[in-house]
Amino acid sequence: MRFIYLFLLIGLISCSKEEGNPDEIVFVQSITISGSNITSGTTGQMTAIVLPTNANNKIIAWSTSDDSIATISSNGILKARKNGKVVVTATATDKNVVIATKEITISSFETGTDNSIEVSNSTQLLNALSNIKAGSTIILNEGTYTLNSKISISISGNAQDKITLIGKEGENRPKLDFSSMVENSANQGIVLTADYWHIKGIDIYKAGDNGLQIKGSNNVIEFCTFSECSDTGLQIDGGASNNTILNCDSFFNADPTIENADGFACKLTAGTGNKFIGCRAWQNLDDGWDGYLRGTDNITTTYENCWSIKNGYLKSGSKGNGDGNGFKTGGSDDKLLKHNAIYKNCIAVGNVFDGFDHNSNRGNVTMYNCSAYDNGKNYSFSNTNPLEKLTIKNSSVLGTLGSVSSTVVDITNNSWQNGISVTSDDFESIDYNQLLNSRKSDGSLPEVNFFHLKSDSDLIDKGINVGLPFNGSAPDLGAFESN
């Protein structure tokens, strides 16, 4: 009988083992993290020693206490984003949930960049924008950032601590690609309602409306491009004032109806004091620059060293149905509003309709050392709904002048006055395709010899001092001063 009981007991033990006894699962009891502070470079390897060594599940989940300082991959690679201290956590994934932590100090970034956030994809960019603060910098690494909805920026910097969004220098500039958007008046690429931002070195492509719409003030937009958007590449409105657009390009912007989309526009409800410096607009369906007003009056916009080239043409080279002006100074529905415009050393060439256009603007327009050539009309300032005042000095036109009427005029020392005759022989080159050459590495305009004066030109020293720098006894006529 005892033999039978022993046999049954052994059988029960055997069955229990075959069915799997929970007491025999080996859980993680401890984790030790090893890894060093990051004093150079931006990456470090974290490792976890898991005990006991025969634990059934040794898989570790990694995390950091602050993703803005550092992130960590599933295999323990720590990626630093700025200087600071971050707690790295390793968590066992078995049901014992053992946790270990280690503090890592990051000091590899240059002094003064503690507020920098480096991003490499759209998710990181959007997260950084939503958590930005005054004085911080977001650095975009090279590559394409695919976005399917507009970015709204409402967090402001201040005069002492601007917020910077900058593309990292490299062979491939960061490109914000909105091409998945459909055309819609609400589908801007970026809407900047904030103040005191500096955005630099970024390409904005194929938004469903404006590439960048600025409704904030005291911002600087530098060395950016806006292309193939379904409305104006960069537009200033919504009361925005004192913004500076520096060394930017806007081109190939067109809507599907083939009758709208400018390169740049300071229009509708824009505020005053906005400036465009060293910018280029070419082959935009409507105008290179549009200053049409609706809802604001008596504002002033300044344009310095800006080039408007072949607007009114599509990317393919065919004509569209847009206005095709180089610089549209203003205009309004009731033909009463004043958009005061100041142009210095600006060039309008090859535009389908007008180089410099009046369009019922009732304000003051001042032009110093500007050049026009091969436009439908080079100048078009009519006596219908005339300007309050038109001032033109030291400017040159190759070809037919056009009209220069106003309620009050102050037009002296220009290429069509004082017995001066202008021909192509006055210039080193009249090939304005040069104006589309690549910019310099710092974003400034390319070196060209288009419309540079030959040493024997009649346009040398024929101007009058208007406060711009010049060589010789008097300023030259046109956009470029000879040596």
| Burial of 349: CB neighbours in 10 Å, binned 0-12, 13-18, 19+ | buried
> Do the bridges between strand 220-222 and strand 197-200 make them parallel or antiparallel, or are there none, so unpaired?
parallel
| Burial of 103: CB neighbours in 10 Å, binned 0-12, 13-18, 19+ | exposed
What CA–CA distance (Å, rounded) separates 392 from 278?
20
Query: Considering 162, 175, 267, 328, which one is annotated as catalytic?
Result: 328
With a CB cutoff of 8 Å and minimum separation 6, the contacts of 280 are: 248, 249, 250, 251, 306, 307, 308, 309, 435, 436, 445
What CA–CA distance (Å, rounded) separates 36 from 46?
8
What CA–CA distance (Å, rounded) separates 238 from 214?
8
> Do the bridges between strand 47-51 and strand 30-34 make them parallel or antiparallel, or are there none, so unpaired?
antiparallel
What CA–CA distance (Å, rounded) separates 226 from 197?
18
| Burial of 327: CB neighbours in 10 Å, binned 0-12, 13-18, 19+ | buried
Contact at 8 Å (CB) between 326 and 306?
no
Contact at 8 Å (CB) between 274 and 241?
yes
Q: In what order do the strands lie in the sheet with 409-412?
A: 116-119, 137-140, 163-167, 197-200, 220-222, 244-246, 274-277, 299-304, 339-344, 364-368, 389-393, 409-412
Can 328 be counted among the known catalytic residues? yes
Give me the active site residues, please: 328
